[in-house]
Amino acid sequence: MINESRRGGTQASEVFVIPAQQPVSVAVAGGGRFPVRRVFCIARNYAAHAREMGGNPEREQPFFFCKPADAVLSAAEGESLRFRYPLASQDVHHEVELVVALGAGGENLDAQAARASIWGYAVGLDMTRRDLQAEAKAMARPWDIAKAFDQSAPVSAIRRATDPLPDDTRVALTVNGKPRQSGVVGDMIWTIPEIIMLLSRYYCLAPGDLIFTGTPEGVGAVLPGDELTATIDGVGELYVEVVAR
Ligand code: MN
């Protein structure tokens, strides 16, 4: 609206009429900030998790959903985030995921361009109001209310890396020191370049976009007081404490 109004040309019309929000950004390992443009997520990208959610990994095409950029909760290196137990849910789940940060974009990317668009990697949590997701699924409604809530995307510092991650790179989560989720990048049904290629058929991808690449099996509920440690080999760690509202 502001940009449209600039065509009108008066100086006064160019002033923000409410305070403009700060750009969302994520810490970068070693220093600096990565500006976040959009947050894309792929669903059911590990076969064992697809089965635990009642899906069939052999037959399903991939599908995507989004979170708003300001759902991102950025951790500095070594920082423990405080995740407030969200509104309107009694069943909030953790999903540990590898996050890909894009430094380039475009539409209908080929495999080479998809690989070249990767700026770095981070550890993320796709926090999910599972009870609201179950209702949405039953009613054939969108997932936004289950996935796109405030603070629903805790993210570690981004590690600069352009090489593909080895297939045995482990994606794991403990809750209060007990193992809950574990898988390896090689278990992904759709590889990272494939995810980027697929997304670029639907969106003109851009620098600053984050992509959550799916979660391994073992998703489960969190409660206030829980301490989550998410780890990805060679990428980093993310510490989250769940606190009551
Ligand atoms: Mn997920």
Q: Is the pLDDT of residue 9 over 80?
A: no
- From residue 90, how far is each of 97, 130, 173, 223, 241 by CA, in Å? 22, 8, 21, 9, 17
Q: What is the pLDDT of residues 95-127, one digit of tens each?
A: 999 999 999 999 999 999 999 999 999 999 999
User: How far is 29 from 231, CA to CA, in rounded Å?
Assistant: 15
Distance from residue 8's CA to the centre of ligand 1 (Å): 44
Q: Is the pLDDT of residue 7 over 60?
A: no
Q: Is the pLDDT of residue 15 over 60?
A: yes
Question: Confidence class of residue 140 from pLDDT cuts 50, 70 and 90?
Answer: very high
How high is the mean pLDDT of the chain? 94
With contact defined as beta carbons under 8 Å apart, do 242 and 225 qualify?
yes
List the Cα angle 237/218/156 in 5-degree steps: 20
User: What is the pTM for the complete model shown?
Assistant: 0.93
As a whole number of Å, the CA-based R_g of the chain is 18
Task: At 106, list the tokens.
Answer: 């475009």
pLDDT given at position 59: 67
Distance from residue 42's CA to the centre of ligand 1 (Å): 7
| DSSP assignment string, 161-190 | --SPPPTT-EEEEEETTEEEEEEEGGGBSS
What residues does the ion ligand 1 have nearby, CB within 5 Å?
95, 126, 215
Element (DSSP H or E) covering residue 9: none
Domains of the chain: 23-243 (3.90.850.10)
Half-sphere exposure of residue 110: CA atoms within 13 angstroms, side-chain side: 1
Distance from residue 244's CA to the centre of ligand 1 (Å): 23
Distance from residue 28's CA to the centre of ligand 1 (Å): 22
